[in-house]
Structure 1
């Protein structure tokens, strides 16, 4: 490992997708000495990006637009794919709908407008993409039907994405230092510009002078104190989906040292349905994203009191998975049971529900399934059975009234629990098949925190951090990734987090390089 440099052109704090994107952009834009530091040890490289499925939401013109950047589609397969264009207007509608109309319009416009070019830019740097058949398409009537506005993923998910980033960084001469945490920011007393960053590297303290600093160190999702403080009571007990090193340190030091302005939804987060038997305080780098349990649209979710608590079919999974974890945590004991029968068990994705990954609760009757759920924390067996029987009665009534309506998991099929003769107080709006054909399966789930939405205010054009004192940019300080505030509120369109890291990382790297090169020009005059 080379010695930690005393100075550099651009210093990136954080080595996830956003940090690497910023570093690649800075290096290709002419910055000579680009350095990434990350407080995690090397065997935890990649931050939360490592734990993702690698999905990246992008506006596109349809299959032909995406084929040049994917490596898993030949001509024969291409002829069996239904993939409609996902326009900028559709992306905008999704952002406005799921983010409650509160997403910063300038930030979200840049995200949407540059999503396609950013993905293709990373592809030129060696990021390998594939069409996400396993997560975003169903094989219906011999054709792969993509749904929910999301089609692309990186090869081998987050693990592959970080491998590709690290190879690209090495090619461009970017130096990466692990076990190196930022501990303080310093600025010039007269200009207010960032001058250096104090670090602690493998137990030793040092300072790195830099012409530009890009903060990309993630949110506070792995910090129980901050979760309880900002997300609310009980959130200190939430499971952590990803890296244990995203503890909000850089958010706090930016507020403390340079009076950075806060922005975004500080009481909001991405919290998904998560295996209740997963490690509570950290993700598992081997199992990784496979602890996600996103098969709920195919069945129902019932809490430990025996009651349903969400409309599992209200929307495509892409627009509900980041909020349903929060709903689970609000239930008694913070757990729930996902339930299916033999009709839909074959549709569950193997990477999330195979025997090696998940503890399965099974039964040859609803009563036997309930008994076995009791052994795993169900508190009210009678209500569990009553809930399923009422659900089944409602689904049968709808199917009888609409005999020609076809169940189709790739579209909002309207197969529901609501008919003229039977209606549930809490409907299931789509994909509502009866659950009465044995064998039966249940999986116990909780909420897994992925990332927090609160962050720092930035100039959308450059990602320059804004001062809460002056309301102006802090010269030389930029912010990307989960630390960037104002983009997501309440929820987010699935796959847009990694895209945000690429889009704004690219902008930050360019702005930081221009600043560094401009300083060199002035010094030579």
Structure 2
């Protein structure tokens, strides 16, 4: 057996870890974790990634995403740096626009009600484009999001909402590319390895206790990076921190993100930070399974609601579906749906906007009813008061400003007037059958509360001092998102802060290794 084959063997990797054979241990196996691992490896550090999931479910929440990534760019020349495969024909037929740093700052501040940590926000936004180029250098490929973020107008695709690029192959493609890059760069990965406790003597973190292969062992290292996600898959924590009914939601992604990294850090005095009662939650297929299904991926989401209306069990609208582009409302509307009677809603489309439905509306695993008349539809939508719904449609149709042109590419100001919940953009009457209705509930993506970190990615304790040897990245970093989030910000946040944590941990760890020699 060659050395490389020996290192890929789980028993050999675990033995090396028990002997203190790694400079840096990364807890987690998704986008943030691998960006941290690759960044630490650049400094010459030996790196081990601990993935709690089995190999067939690896990648954390990253594998379940559609792969959209938000970053600042000035125009098509910037995009060509990360997408060199762009053809001249694609460029000619597309208005990519630009998404400046100022626009990113404005969007992040606006949707978080300006509670986002200013230092972390600056790091995120100012580093976003360079981080995309760095990811490209590590073998991650990117492509324009034609199917979900652009509409064709007058023969030309136009992007909207500041979100233009996705990883090739979506979330699975991103995880696979990062995993391959890690293996190519000599980073070891141990699957079904759950970190249960940090090794901490009151001064320094020197590794982790790991449950693997039916035993608990001490894995020693010079630095530990926590990148194991939020606590969205932990029913008890959701109810404790998010509140009543959060035990009833569907988990969009992995079943393995139960807050282990956060708990281990808090146990040694780390400072909690951020919006602990907040989370990213969306409209999700009512009859989806308890956790994400990799065969379906992100297609249980139902995000074309800006071109529809939503009603609750009383048959009443309860939210402004057209308040903003989907990118800026979808992550908070799951909570609104959860607060409705029975924790569900129905999205209703007529033929004028059916063609604007995203791909997820055409999968087999949907709760959908169709009808030729509103009265027939009212009686098919399970759990809905038919008369209340019919009255809602009548009032809504009468309130639509038909004199204002409809344009799905901009906030068109086509509104309703005189309703309790006016639709401020993209209002169209619901009168052209056949009609379609899709039932949704709340699907939680990730939690916003987490750990406080320094500008170097180091975890801070409750007295405001950094904990030597401990770093964090990804969903378990608190202070960035509050109440809501601009679409595609999660992956870029994981990448930016993963790269930062890896660079800082790698530098300290290799320095410690040299000093020990």
- The alignment's TM-score, normalised by the length of structure 1, stands at 0.94
Pair 1:417-2:416 in alignment: yes
Partner of 1:283: 292
Q: 1:385 aligns with which of 390, 403, 408?
A: 390
The answer for unaligned runs of 5 or more in structure 2 is 1-8
Kindly provide the CA deviation profile for residues 145-181 of structure 1, in whole angstroms up to 9, marking residues without a partner as x: 1000110100111010001011100110101111100
Once the two structures are TM-superposed, the CA of residue 141 in structure 1 deviates from its matched residue by 1.6
Partner residue of 1:27? 41
CA–CA distance in structure 2, aligned partners of residues 196 and 512 of structure 1: 13
Residue 454 of structure 1 is matched in structure 2 by 449
Does structure 1 residue 10 correspond to structure 2 residue 24? yes
Secondary structure of the 2:40 match is helix
Cα-to-partner distance string for 1:107-151 (whole Å, 9 max, x where unaligned): 000000001011110011011100101111111121101000110
Counterpart Cα distance in 1 of 2:133 and 2:393: 47
User: How far has the Cα of 1:71 moved from its partner?
Assistant: 6.1
Note if contact 2:93-2:156 (Cα within 8 Å) is conserved in structure 1: yes
What are the equivalent positions in structure 2 for 1:409-488 lying under 5 Å apart? 409-418=408-417, 423-459=418-454, 461-468=455-462, 470-488=463-481
* Distance in 1 separating the partners of 2:367 and 2:430: 20
2:232–2:446 contact (8 Å) kept in structure 1: yes
User: Contact 1:54–1:154 at 8 Å: present in 2 too?
Assistant: yes
Which residue pairs with 2:226 in the alignment? Answer: 215
| C-alpha separation in 2, matches of 1:138 and 1:317 | 14
- 8 A Cα contact 2:449 2:478, kept in partner: yes
Moved more, 113-122 or 247-256: 247-256
1:258-288 per-residue CA deviation (whole Å, 9 max, x = no partner) reads: 1110000000000011010111x20000101
Which stretches of structure 1, 4 residues or longer, exceed 3 Å deviation after superposition? Answer: none
Contact 1:71/1:130 (8 A) holds in 2: no
- Partner secondary structure for residue 490 of structure 1: coil
The partner residue of 1:328 within 314, 331, 337 is 337
SS of 2:263 mapped into structure 1: helix
Post-superposition offset of 1:438: 0.5
Seen in structure 2, the aligned counterparts of structure 1 residues 73 and 435 have a Cα distance that, compared at 3 Å, is farther
Q: Kindly provide the CA deviation profile for residues 277-324 of structure 1, in whole angstroms up to 9, marking residues without a partner as x.
A: 111x20000101000100100110001110101100000000000000
2:194 and 2:211 in contact (8 A); partners too: yes
Pairwise CA RMSD: 1.1
2:3 corresponds to? none
Map 1:287-326 onto structure 2 (within 5 A).
287-326=296-335
The alpha-carbon deviation at position 359 of structure 1 amounts to 2.9
Counterpart in the other structure of 1:233: 244
Alignment partner, residue 243 of structure 1: 254
Report matched runs for 1:91-130 at 5 Å: 91-130=104-143
Q: In 1, Cα distance between the equivalents of 2:363 and 2:222? A: 52
Q: In the alignment, what sits opposite 1:41?
A: 54
1:355/1:364 Cα in 2 relative to 1: closer, same or farther (>3 Å)? Answer: farther
Give 1:248-287 correspondences, 5 Å limit: 248-256=259-267, 258-279=268-289, 281-287=290-296
| Contact persistence 1:16–1:49 (CA under 8 A) | yes
Q: Secondary structure at the match of 2:10?
A: coil
Which residue of structure 2 lines up, in the alignment, with residue 362 of structure 1? 370
> Cα deviation per residue 1:212-234 (whole Å; 9 max; x = unaligned)?
00000111100110000000011
Compute the displacement of 1:391 (Å). 0.7
What SS does the corresponding residue of 1:362 show, helix, strand or coil?
strand
Q: What is residue 4 of structure 2 aligned with on the other side?
A: none
Report the Cα distance in structure 2 between the residues aligned to 1:202 and 1:246, rounded to whole angstroms. 20
Rounded to whole Å, the distance in 1 between the matches of 2:456 and 2:465 is 13
1:223-263, Cα deviation, whole Å (9 max, x unpaired): 1100000000111111110001111122112111x111000
Kept after mapping to 2: 8 A contact 1:125/1:168: yes
Residue 221 of structure 1 contacts residue 451 of structure 1 at CA under 8 Å; is this kept in 2?
A: yes
TM-score of the superposed pair, with normalisation by structure 2: 0.96
Tell me the equivalent position of 1:65: 78
Per the alignment, residue 176 of structure 1 pairs with 189
Q: How far 1:70 moved relative to its partner? A: 2.2
Deviation at 1:2, TM superposition (A): 3.1
SS of 2:221's equivalent in the other structure is strand
Contact 2:111 2:328 in 1 (8 A): yes
* Counterpart secondary structure, 1:307: coil
1:55 correspondence with 2:48: no
1:147 equivalent in alignment to 2:153: no
Name the CA distance, whole Å, in 2 between partners of 1:522 and 1:205. 29
Aligned to 2:511: 518
* Distance in structure 2 (CA, Å) of the matches to 1:252 and 1:522: 31
Do structure 1's residue 406 and structure 2's residue 399 form an aligned pair? no
Aligned 8 A contact 1:71 1:128 in 2: no
Question: Structure 1 residue aligned with 2:215, among 179, 201, 204?
Answer: 204
User: How far apart, in 2, do the equivalents of 1:195 and 1:361 lie?
Assistant: 57
